[in-house]
Amino acid sequence: MPPHKRKLQDKYFKQAKREGYVARSAYKLIELNDRRMIIRKKDRVLDLGCAPGSWLQVAREIVGERGLVVGIDLKPVTQSFGDNVFTMVGDFTETDASTLLGAVEGEEAELFDAVISDMAPNTTGHGDDFMSCRLCHKILDALPDLLRPGGRCVMKVFEGGDFPELLKRTKSMFRDARPLKPEACREVSRETYIVGNGYRPVAEETPKRVVGAGPSPKPPSGWGG
């Protein structure tokens, strides 16, 4: 690895250790949020592919005590980040939206204000961009049951042949959607992020939501701390 790239890696790695983040990827979300206001105070946020937890940490810092952060990953998150941060182990594509929303039987669940994802497929060096785009399409497929109208979304993707079609689809679903590459991304990496603001669901696909903001709900049995 060339010296200047090692220096970049060391900068964010050391900064994360110094500031108490579990991974250097925290600074990607911090920069994306500074530029596009994905997460706001008191928001309900869903983190898809949340392990090891750096994006949970950043989201919790932004939403504050009256917000809510929920994460799901195939791997467990071993640290606790606060009373209003809940995690579960599982595949989001095989998990009912009601479970992710923390729905209580007999009550309507409130949709998330933001869906964030730093997920990536297991990289093999062959077809990684295709698998990454397919994963992002699955996120977009799930949004009608998870994200409120007007909500925000950010998802990592590897640039490649299918990237233009993914960006086109995202733009059709949001008032504004664009690719952004944070400084904390390694220069040699093809990873970038698509950020969407102003979610526009198809009317018939829009699920019901609770009207009005209130205190964060108590987690149902499906949520772990």
Residues with active-site annotation: 156
38 neighbors 13 (Cβ within 8 angstroms): no
Of 74, 54, 159, 188, residue with least CA distance to 122: 74
115 neighbors 153 (Cβ within 8 angstroms): yes
Helix (H, G, I), strand (E, B) or coil at 115: strand
Of 50, 42, 63, 61, residue with least CA distance to 23: 50
Distance CA 26, CA 39 (A): 14
Cα–Cα–Cα angle for 121, 33, 35, nearest 5°?
Answer: 115
Pairing label, strands 112-117, 44-48: parallel
Helix (H, G, I), strand (E, B) or coil at 134: helix
Residue type, 173: M
Helix (H, G, I), strand (E, B) or coil at 33: helix
Distance CA 55, CA 50 (A): 7
Query: Cα(first)–Cα(last) distance of the chain, in Å?
Result: 38
